[in-house]
């Protein structure tokens, strides 16, 4: 387009770029020509017309012409404003930012995905829904807690980015200044918000933040929800600390101090209100979803992440127009805390109610015990968060729920914080449930072994975690230790009292002047009884299982310390009074037999193993 004559009027400059009157004006943009002289000439023309409109000596005709010119100018500037935004706006490169988030969890990693479910039962037995869900749940690898507390700390400051080139920002500010001065504030805000919101939506898409309603989120299966929670935690840090913060900076660069209202705040809210609500709606939906125990740890991840973001949310959304967004975060945080409390209570109920009645073979560790102790170990990993959330003691005894529950007095543990008392209570109701399950064994000795195995496992899990041991405390740990040791003693008494009874002298001495003093028939019966009882114990208890190697050895040694001296003494006293045909076992045979107990292998398997 030719340069205008020096005496061209401001109105003529405006009309020359009227897109409704000229194909050339419709297809070209002033600010795309990189002709700063033409850009300045047009802006000066707009300024001149606006100045003229403030004159009090204008005739109606002149006023009408100026109004028409300013409307044409505003339409042109609106198009120019939109075009500059569109041609210079691209979604933030999220990958480098996301990769900068540390993947180091705040806790020591343990073994990855854990599955535990109670033994299969007959199809007619109806499983309790809560424990079925938590028993089939997969605990995420501790390494995947990258998206929780520690990783938040790796990106704990706002990182504003320059979203547009300085020249584009300067042009946008020049246009915005004139549109606002001419009374086109709303139009300017709407154009700005619509363009920048689409850019933010593009960044959201790159970050994996989906547009889901609260209903959509609550209908997700747990595996899908679990994945989306992890993705949300990573994305939220980028959205708050980079994306929204940078959008706020851009609004400030373009609109600060323009007009009588806070234009920068208005444009910022126009841009990010819907995306921010979309971001927070996800967490809100999770916080009010069904309180299943398997969700607890992801809820706590969300809680930690949101809590860590609160100061940045306050900074980014510090204006009055942003108040509705700003207050959402602490409200959702409160609901997450309440959800966590509810899930812990659900877990306690599920442990108490777990209904499986089929005894685990060999009296080994029940899957419920493994599951509960792994769950408790995870709770101890989150003790900082849960310690702030759990503020009341557990409700114990029969008033706990509508099923029989153990009574427990926490007065002796008064110095323990509420979270620790909840862990102790969970162990207590687990032990209570296990006592009930032990009654389904027909053999009392096996029932005692079952209790010994399970309570010993509980003790070892507590001792194996420094944090868990500190929370449970040595006092209650000693109580549990006494329980499993008493169960071991009860098992030995129930099993070996009959065996040792055969090795007593009573009933073996005969009377009469021609007697040797020992009744050979009674002695033969005594050896037959001993052999039969030991055979049965050996055959049966070789199939039983004590999975902990050290406990298994201690149990065997304890048995040998009682059995071998008694048998050796019995043989010494009576061997000369009976044929060797009745003495089935040597002392060494008994020792070998005892050493074959509690490995879950049939006697025939032990024999084959010795022959190899």
pLDDT given for residue 165 in this prediction: 93
Read off φ and ψ for residue 213, nearest 5 degrees.
-75, 165
305: helix, strand or coil: helix
Contact yes or no for 367/119 (Cβ under 8 A): yes
Listing DSSP states for 117-129 in one string gives -PPP--TTSPPPH
17: helix, strand or coil: coil
Closest listed residue to residue 66, CA positions, set 126, 15, 129: 15
Torsion sign across C-alpha atoms 497, 503, 504, 507? positive
Instruction: List, for residues 23-33, the tens digit of each pLDDT value.
Output: 777 788 888 87
Angle at 455 between CA 453 and CA 458, to 5 degrees: 110
pLDDT given for residue 101 in this prediction: 53
pLDDT given for residue 3 in this prediction: 43
Read off φ and ψ for residue 545, nearest 5 degrees.
-130, 130
Calpha distance 362→440 (Å, rounded): 13
How many CB atoms are located within 10 Å of the residue 313 CB? 23
Contact yes or no for 329/176 (Cβ under 8 A): no
- DSSP character at residue 514: T
From the centroid of its chain, how far is CA 330? 19
Q: In order along the chain (612 residues), what is the average pLDDT of each group of 10 residues?
A: 58 86 81 86 91 75 84 92 92 68 39 38 40 45 39 62 93 94 92 94 92 89 91 94 95 88 89 94 91 92 95 94 93 95 93 90 96 94 93 70 65 79 94 94 96 97 94 92 96 94 82 64 90 95 96 96 95 87 92 95 62 42
Closest listed residue to residue 383, CA positions, set 463, 469, 461: 469
- What pTM, to 2 d.p., does this model score? 0.80
Calpha distance 478→390 (Å, rounded): 25
Instruction: List, for residues 272-285, the tens digit of each pLDDT value.
Output: 999 999 999 999 99
Read off φ and ψ for residue 542, nearest 5 degrees.
-65, -30
Please state, in angstroms and as integers, the Cα–Cα distance from residue 503 to each residue in 523, 525, 526, following that order: 10, 12, 8
**Conformation bin of residue 259: beta by default, left when phi > 0, alpha when psi is -120 to 50:** left
Contact yes or no for 406/432 (Cβ under 8 A): yes
How many CB atoms are located within 10 Å of the residue 212 CB? 16
Which residues are paired to 114 by β-bridges?
139
- DSSP character at residue 512: S
Query: Torsion angle of alpha carbons 95, 97, 100, 106, nearest 10°?
Result: -100
Using DSSP, how many helices (H) and how many strands (E) does the chain show?
26, 0
Q: Give, rounded to a whole angstrom, the gap between the first and last alpha carbons of the chain.
A: 101
Closest listed residue to residue 139, CA positions, set 159, 109, 160: 109
Contact yes or no for 271/85 (Cβ under 8 A): no
Calpha distance 421→566 (Å, rounded): 46
Please state, in angstroms and as integers, the Cα–Cα distance from residue 76 to each residue in 16, 96, 301, 472, following that order: 11, 38, 50, 72
Which residues are paired to 545 by β-bridges?
599
Read off φ and ψ for residue 124, nearest 5 degrees.
-75, -20
């Amino acid at each position: 387009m030719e340069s205008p004559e020096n005496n061209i009027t401001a109105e003529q400059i405006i009309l020359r770029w009227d897109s409704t009157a000229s194909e050339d004006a419709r297809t070209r943009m002033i600010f795309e020509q990189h002709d700063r002289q033409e850009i300045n000439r047009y802006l000066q023309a707009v300024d001149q017309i606006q100045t003229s409109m403030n004159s009090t000596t204008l005739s109606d005709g002149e006023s009408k012409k100026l109004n028409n010119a300013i409307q044409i100018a505003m339409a042109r500037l609106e198009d120019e404003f939109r075009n500059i935004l569109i041609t210079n706006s691209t979604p933030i490169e999220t990958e480098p930012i996301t990769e900068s988030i540390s993947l180091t969890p705040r806790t020591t990693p343990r073994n990855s995905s854990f599955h535990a479910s109670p033994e299969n039962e007959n199809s007619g037995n109806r499983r309790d829904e809560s424990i079925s869900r938590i028993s089939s749940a997969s605990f995420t690898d501790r390494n995947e807690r990258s998206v929780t507390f520690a990783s938040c700390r790796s990106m704990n400051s706002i990182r504003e980015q320059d979203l547009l080139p300085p020249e584009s920002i300067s042009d946008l500010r020049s246009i915005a200044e004139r549109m606002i001065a001419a009374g086109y504030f709303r139009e300017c805000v709407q154009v700005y918000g619509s363009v920048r919101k689409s850019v933010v939506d593009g960044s959201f898409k790159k970050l994996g933040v989906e547009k889901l309603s609260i209903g959509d989120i609550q209908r997700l299966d747990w595996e899908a929800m679990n994945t989306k929670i992890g993705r949300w935690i990573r994305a939220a840090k980028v959205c708050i600390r980079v994306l929204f913060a940078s959008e706020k900076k851009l609004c400030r660069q373009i609109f600060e101090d323009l007009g009588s209202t806070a234009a920068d705040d208005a444009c910022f809210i126009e841009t990010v209100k819907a995306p921010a609500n979309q971001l927070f709606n996800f967490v809100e939906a999770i916080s009010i979803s069904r309180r299943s125990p398997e969700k607890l740890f992801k809820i706590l991840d969300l809680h930690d992440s949101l809590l860590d973001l609160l100061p940045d949310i306050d900074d980014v959304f510090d204006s009055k127009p942003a108040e509705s967004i700003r207050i959402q975060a602490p409200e959702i945080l409160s609901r997450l805390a309440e959800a966590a409390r509810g899930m812990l209570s659900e877990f306690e109920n599920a442990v108490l109610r777990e209904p499986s009645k089929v005894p685990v073979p060999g009296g080994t560790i029940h899957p419920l015990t493994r599951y509960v102790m792994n769950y408790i170990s995870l709770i101890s990993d989150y003790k900082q968060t849960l310690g702030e959330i759990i503020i009341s003691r557990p409700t114990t005894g029969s008033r706990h729920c509508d099923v029989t529950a153990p009574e427990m007095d926490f007065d002796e543990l008064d110095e323990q914080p509420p979270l620790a008392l909840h862990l102790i209570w969970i162990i207590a109701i687990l032990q209570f449930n296990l006592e009930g399950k032990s009654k389904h064994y027909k053999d009392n000795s096996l029932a005692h072994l079952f209790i010994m195995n399970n309570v010993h496992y509980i003790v070892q899990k507590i001792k194996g975690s420094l944090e868990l041991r500190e929370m449970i405390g040595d006092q209650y740990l000693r109580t549990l230790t006494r329980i499993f040791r008493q169960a071991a003693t009860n098992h030995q008494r129930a099993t070996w009292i009959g065996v040792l009874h055969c090795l007593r002298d009573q009933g073996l001495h005969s009377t009469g002047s021609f007697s040797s003093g020992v009744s050979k028939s009674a002695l033969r019966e005594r050896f037959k009884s001993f052999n039969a009882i030991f055979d049965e114990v050996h055959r049966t208890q070789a199939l039983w299982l004590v999975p902990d190697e050290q406990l298994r050895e201690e149990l065997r040694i304890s048995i040998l310390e009682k059995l071998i001296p008694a048998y050796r003494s019995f043989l010494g006293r009576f061997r000369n009074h009976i044929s060797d045909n009745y003495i089935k076992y040597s002392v060494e045979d008994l020792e070998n037999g005892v050493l074959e107990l509690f490995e879950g292998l049939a006697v025939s398997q032990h024999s084959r193993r010795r022959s190899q």
